[in-house]
Structure 1
């Protein structure tokens, strides 16, 4: 694959003073799924911090079982972790990863935001996504795999955008290549998990909401019009419902679980 592991290792070394995850990098040209490969390696004894990167995936998965098209030119990686979380809080891993990756990219001047619950958006279009899978033991998440796909130079659908093309429209090029982008994503996952485990969900959630592009959006749910006012600690979307459009009578807010509704993309975003 056209990917230099030493360059990646150098970027990781430069970017972390206090390592939280002992990254162990495994590169592949072609895989059905990086998440699937990490689970196989974990079953064979791989430790937390095991990272699998593929040039392309033939059976990549997105949220809710959707196919994730993964042609050459994109970033496809998965990392194993061993969180100590109640199973009811499993979505906090996705919130942490989304915030961490987004904030790391923004540190380089990439004006990316988060679309609830797990998409990275740039200029209103999808730049990437996150898929978290877990194994549970006695009500606790014993193992988890965080999978990330980011569009770099790969072709994208009308509602997508790739980072290399976006950089070409800017006066600067914050990401020098796929290795730097990969290091940025891994450092983002690491910083998000550190925030969750050391500072707690309330601080993490406030940071996540600061980068959420959906705040104030209006959404129809069961023929009711709601306004996005936040996200719960479990990852649910919080909506304030307008019951009567004429007098703006407000009912108590409702909570929508991930996967219940889609907030969509604007195909003609600029």
Structure 2
């Protein structure tokens, strides 16, 4: 069991008013080590047919891909959505890309011009990161679950991190975490069901339309070496496609270290 703290009842009441309670199991906290860890505990008690959401005002031990530490901004959205799989798990990591499309579509009407950086970041038009997404598979006696953790820098000092930005930096608007959760919850649940039925193919064109660095030279650290080439796209399985000397190389896993002449921070 994760070590979790005091519940934020005011947030829970607000979310219960906006979301259908039988369809959602909601847990809001003042502070947790990680919403992903708290969401793992939620899987064991999640009612059949319900989705889950763990939301915190602060987290002290957030993590990104491959166990990298994720430092919480001054004001942020720290949430993990829980969805029960109806079939044996298949390529669940690609749901990260679908979730990125949903987050972008929720933020764009608020004045945020979102670009998606493979595999899990949202960046501004200038390539500054303001959000990261982490998807994990959890298998329990109660079934298989996808956990989708979303971190968004809503407002915070970014002068010391020139490759980062906040929603406030980009738009001049202050957003609340529970308000943003309401905008994300239903679209994410609908996206999850589409993903189960159609896979990433249902989201690929929307992702490509927002791809950061399309047509630019890109360098990717795969863990076993550096791959470089012009960003060509992504496959229907979520693999990054780089073009070099008329050949297409597909990359299963890695993190982008540069796009054009921009050094890219990654979690």
TM-score when scaled to structure 1?
Answer: 0.78
Q: Could you tell me how far apart the structure 2 residues matched to 1:129 and 1:233 are?
A: 21
Instruction: Structure 1: give runs of 5+ residues left out of the alignment.
Output: 14-18, 243-249
Residues 78-87 or 124-133, more deviating = 78-87
Q: Does 1:135 align with 2:138?
A: yes
Q: Could you tell me how far apart the structure 1 residues matched to 2:87 and 2:112 are?
A: 31
Name 2:3's counterpart in structure 1.
Answer: none
Q: Could you tell me how far apart the structure 1 residues matched to 2:254 and 2:118 are?
A: 10
Cα 1:117–1:260, aligned 2, differ >3 Å: closer, same or farther?
closer
Q: Could you tell me how far apart the structure 2 residues matched to 1:136 and 1:46 are?
A: 13
Name 1:253's counterpart in structure 2.
Answer: 248
Name 1:183's counterpart in structure 2.
Answer: 182
Secondary structure of the 2:75 match is: coil
Q: Could you tell me how far apart the structure 1 residues matched to 2:228 and 2:53 are?
A: 42
Cα 1:188–1:258, aligned 2, differ >3 Å: closer, same or farther?
farther
Aligned length: 245
Render the CA deviation track for 1:45-77: whole Å, top value 9, x for unaligned.
124411111111111000111101014411100
Residue 178 of structure 1 deviates from its aligned partner by 3.0
Secondary structure of the 2:103 match is: helix
Name 1:36's counterpart in structure 2.
Answer: 37
Say which of 162, 165, 190 aligns to 2:169.
Answer: 165
Cα 1:62–1:6, aligned 2, differ >3 Å: closer, same or farther?
same
- Do 1:58 and 1:70's aligned partners in 2 also have CA atoms closer than 8 Å? yes
Cα 1:220–1:263, aligned 2, differ >3 Å: closer, same or farther?
closer
Name 1:196's counterpart in structure 2.
Answer: 195
Q: Could you tell me how far apart the structure 2 residues matched to 1:191 and 1:101 are?
A: 13
Q: Could you tell me how far apart the structure 1 residues matched to 2:151 and 2:32 are?
A: 14
Q: Could you tell me how far apart the structure 2 residues matched to 1:3 and 1:81 are?
A: 24
Q: Does 1:46 align with 2:46?
A: yes
Name 1:216's counterpart in structure 2.
Answer: 215
Q: Does 1:229 align with 2:216?
A: no
Render the CA deviation track for 1:176-199: whole Å, top value 9, x for unaligned.
533322222324422432432355
TM-score when scaled to structure 2?
Answer: 0.79
Name 1:108's counterpart in structure 2.
Answer: 110
Q: Could you tell me how far apart the structure 1 residues matched to 2:183 and 2:262 are?
A: 27
- Do 2:115 and 2:212's aligned partners in 1 also have CA atoms closer than 8 Å? yes
Q: Could you tell me how far apart the structure 1 residues matched to 2:65 and 2:100 are?
A: 14
- Do 2:200 and 2:237's aligned partners in 1 also have CA atoms closer than 8 Å? no
- Do 2:137 and 2:147's aligned partners in 1 also have CA atoms closer than 8 Å? yes
Instruction: Structure 2: give runs of 5+ residues left out of the alignment.
Output: 1-7
Residue 219 of structure 1 deviates from its aligned partner by 2.2
